[in-house]
A and B are shown apart, each in its own frame.
Chain A
Amino acid sequence: MGEKILEVTDLKVEFNTDQGRINAVKGVSFDVYKGKTLGIVGESGSGKSVSALSIMRLIPDPPGRIVGGKALFKGQDLLQIPMNKMRNIRGNKIAMIFQEPMTSLNPVFTCGSQIEEVLAIHQMQLTKQQRKNKAVELLDLVGIPAPEKRIKEYPHQLSGGMRQRVMIAMSLACEPDILIADEPTTALDVTIQAQILELMHSLQKELGMGLIMITHDLGVVAEVCDDVSVMYCGKIVEAADVRTLFTRPKHPYTKGLINSIPSYDATDEGEKERLQTIRGMVPSLFDLPTGCSFQDRCDFASDKCRGFDGNPILKKIADGHEVSCWHPLSN
């Protein structure tokens, strides 16, 4: 393994809502390595985006609040440092791109000026002309044709895929150590998705960044990730390298996710296989069952899983493979 650049331990985030307090993230730990991609997978509401936003301290407060944990980056705890120091890290050392390319850019400023703005605050030695040149270079780097023309255009003049490229260009402006991508391809067409993933993958190799890829799409994970953490109801239920996770999933939830990837395999009669799903629904965070959160959807749930001390903890079962389940699958 390479150099560890971010070490998140026991991150806890809660939200105070009108219906009561919810624990969106309940003690999540993961590491990000230089030049490697960590995938965080989970359904909506599993806490994956909240975890990522917490590292950047971008959780809207109120209603959200980081209540515990550490995020060590270059010897400093990102969750504790003062806001002005955090601002020096944001967009500079750690950058982030978001799910909604249509709304994530400011509609009233040109693409160029929005890229130059990052340079203006983090690389103050650059002149205006240098910033402009850099913006053109960056747009060229992310594969936008005619970048000199595009920097003068407004976000509404670009397609979703192009806007996401602008977002990527903006996030790479200061050559960050870590790039956090929060479902960067969810809102895009499938063909564009592949292009954007390919772009991020190649740029990551080129610049040697650590990449945190947040997604609900295991296809994306298989394509770009080195390590994967699977989240469910605010906790990591399984963490492994990508090959192990796909070939030997230990948690019934991981297994269910993998099984629900559609495949082209046809049966002998020429009929397509019925799509597999995980039965039931994600429980409401306001009303979690006692014990393991996955019990109601799990085929292997026992009395132990439903008991008061049934909440499983993440345990190492092999080198680089952790799972939190009382009945890990044997495969």
Chain B
Amino acid sequence: MNIYIYTIRRLLYVIPVLLGVCFIIFFLFNVVSPDPARMMLDKHATVKQIAEMRHELGLDRPFFMQYLDVVKSAFTFNFGRSWSTRQEISEMIMDGAIPSLSLSFPAFFLATLISICISLFVSFFRGKVIDRLAVIFCVGMMSVSSLAYILFGQWFLAYHMGLFEISGYEFGFPFFIPYVILPIIIWIILSIGPDVRFYRTVILDEIYQDYVRTARAKGLSEIVILFKHVLKNAMIPIITYVVIRIPFLILGALLLESFFSIPGLGGITLDAVKSSDFPVLKAMTVLSSIAYITFSVITDVLYTVVDPRVRLK
């Protein structure tokens, strides 16, 4: 079967999954959650006031219609207005996505690239001092709390040395760049430990395979073996590890955004949780589910590109 048909078929499977996801979201927010009308009004509200509020929020309509609203929002990206700010949610998300992505995408991309390079480098020296030191260093870096890096960065590098902006954000290119450099550096430092350990394990798993010995027996150099034969095989677990984390980038980096006062999606979500702003929370849940489903389809399609053994059935 050809890869395009496979992709289309895989995309068609998304529809029932998405309907199921919408049902769970609807069930959580519209069926089992406490009545939002009561939460929005104070405890002295009359029955009439509550009924009016319920009508206004559309909660008095049949459950099936409410479910359809969730499904509709998943396909049209029209999530209505926020309860607390009265703003159009799709606009809020667009506004929040820019700062979030301007931080998370470069950070994630650089962290992945750097980690894979370091892993290839230490795998080349496997079992030698340099490799052992790298592993110790990784574990050491992982053992320090992320708050320590953030505070050190903000206090020493930004405040004391004056190398970066301490916090804040400015919209527009290239004005945002000075604000995201320090959070990006901290993101990379936080990722390198676990990432290098993961990629190194994956690469070393491959390095001891029989086909590597064959490649050596052919007279290939270690560099070619590592970059061509080993890396292509290691790509299968690496793709899973990398692609499946991309949807979480869209949600933003809660901790970094709040410490660096970046007005991103992380902040929006957090505010919505605090103020029980159900439409915003629903929108974020729907969006992250869609992102997750999309990227798992991408992972599956990439497998077929990288690994010929994956049968296109």
- Mark A residues whose CB is within 8 Å of B: 56, 58, 62, 84, 87-92, 95-96, 98, 100, 103-110, 117-118, 121-122, 154, 156, 167, 170-171
CA distance A6 to B241 in the complex (A): 48
A106-B211, A109-B232 as given contacts; A156 in contact with B218, CB under 8 Å: no
Q: Pick the contact of B214 from A106, A108, A122 — CB < 8 Å? A: A106
| Chain B contacts for A62, CB-based, 8 A | 127
Say yes or no: B309 contacts A92, CB within 8 Å. Answer: no
CA distance A105 to B214 in the complex (A): 7
| Chain B contacts for A171, CB-based, 8 A | 217
Say yes or no: A90 contacts B309, CB within 8 Å. Answer: no
Say yes or no: B211 contacts A105, CB within 8 Å. Answer: yes
Count class of interface residues, chain B: 20 to 34
Say yes or no: A100 contacts B210, CB within 8 Å. Answer: yes
Say yes or no: A87 contacts B220, CB within 8 Å. Answer: yes
New A-B contacts (8) at CB < 8 Å, excluding given A98-B210, A109-B229: A56-B216, A87-B221, A91-B218, A91-B220, A106-B214, A107-B309, A118-B218, A156-B309
| Chain B contacts for A108, CB-based, 8 A | 232-233, 306-308
CA distance A105 to B308 in the complex (A): 13
| Chain A contacts for B229, CB-based, 8 A | 106, 109
Shortest distance between the CB of A135 and any CB in chain B (Å): 13
Say yes or no: B218 contacts A56, CB within 8 Å. Answer: no
CA distance A110 to B307 in the complex (A): 11
* Total cross-chain contacts (CB, 8 A): 72
A103-B211, A106-B211 as given contacts; A90 in contact with B307, CB under 8 Å: no
B219 within 8 Å of A (CB atoms): yes
CA distance A107 to B234 in the complex (A): 12
- Mark B residues whose CB is within 8 Å of A: 127, 209-211, 213-221, 229, 232-233, 306-309
| Chain A contacts for B217, CB-based, 8 A | 56, 58, 90-91, 95-96, 98, 171
| Chain A contacts for B308, CB-based, 8 A | 107-108, 110, 154, 156
What would 30 A/B residue contacts be, using CB atoms closer than 8 Å? A56-B216, A58-B216, A58-B217, A84-B221, A87-B220, A90-B216, A90-B217, A90-B218, A91-B219, A95-B217, A98-B210, A98-B213, A100-B210, A104-B211, A104-B213, A105-B211, A106-B214, A106-B229, A106-B232, A106-B233, A107-B211, A107-B233, A107-B307, A107-B308, A108-B306, A117-B220, A118-B219, A122-B219, A156-B309, A170-B218
- Closest Cβ neighbor of B235 among chain A residues: A108
- Closest Cβ neighbor of A153 among chain B residues: B308
CA distance A5 to B220 in the complex (A): 23
| Chain B contacts for A104, CB-based, 8 A | 210-211, 213-214
Shortest distance between the CB of A248 and any CB in chain B (Å): 36
CA distance A56 to B216 in the complex (A): 9
CA distance A236 to B217 in the complex (A): 25
CA distance A90 to B215 in the complex (A): 10
Q: Pick the contact of B219 from A105, A121, A156 — CB < 8 Å? A: A121
The 5 closest A-B pairs by CB, nearest first: A91-B218, A90-B219, A91-B219, A103-B210, A106-B211
| Chain A contacts for B216, CB-based, 8 A | 56, 58, 90
Say yes or no: B219 contacts A103, CB within 8 Å. Answer: no
| Chain A contacts for B307, CB-based, 8 A | 107-108
